[in-house]
Amino acid sequence: MQWDINTDKPVYLQLVEHIQAGIISGVFMPGDKLPSVRDLAAETMVSPNTMQRAMAELEREGLVYTNRTAGRYITSDESLIKELKKQHITQMIKEFLDKMEQLGLELDEVISYINEISENNKK
């Protein structure tokens, strides 16, 4: 999995968002065991403390849980994962529509462009 860390926002939040995206997209399946904090930190080239902070946030959200003797796991609560996916999709669509509005496009124009591009992609 590719980890793109930049300076736009705190690193731990980027890690949280990246793992959330992995959960939503199925890279991490419900019930999957996560690598250790040290292994993830080494993979992402961040400090273990930063990765631990990200994991703590994911646990607070209920997306990850700790089994004291066996490590961390992705939640098996599929309704929670579906809700997270819906929130992400909603946010992305709102951002997209805001950008289209800045370009001076009305919703019906945006939909027309989407339909046209979608039809061209099917060919």
pLDDT in tens, 49-90: 999 999 999 999 999 999 888 899 999 999 999 999 999 999
Using alpha carbons, select from 97, 114, 115 the residue that is nearest to residue 106.
97
Which pLDDT does position 5 carry in this prediction? Answer: 78
Prediction pTM value: 0.80
Q: What is the structure's pLDDT at 34?
A: 94
Beta-bridge partner residues of 71: 67
Half-sphere exposure of 85 (CA within 13 A, CB side): 11
Residue 38 CB neighbour total at 10 angstroms:
11
19-45 average pLDDT score: 93
**Whether the predicted pLDDT of 1 surpasses 70:** no
* CA proximity to 51, closest of 5, 1, 2, 88: 5
Q: Between 122 and 98, where is the model more confident?
A: 98
Q: Is the pLDDT of residue 2 over 80?
A: no
Taking alpha carbons only, the member of 46, 43, 49, 53 closest to residue 13 is 53
CB 74 within 8 A of CB 63: yes
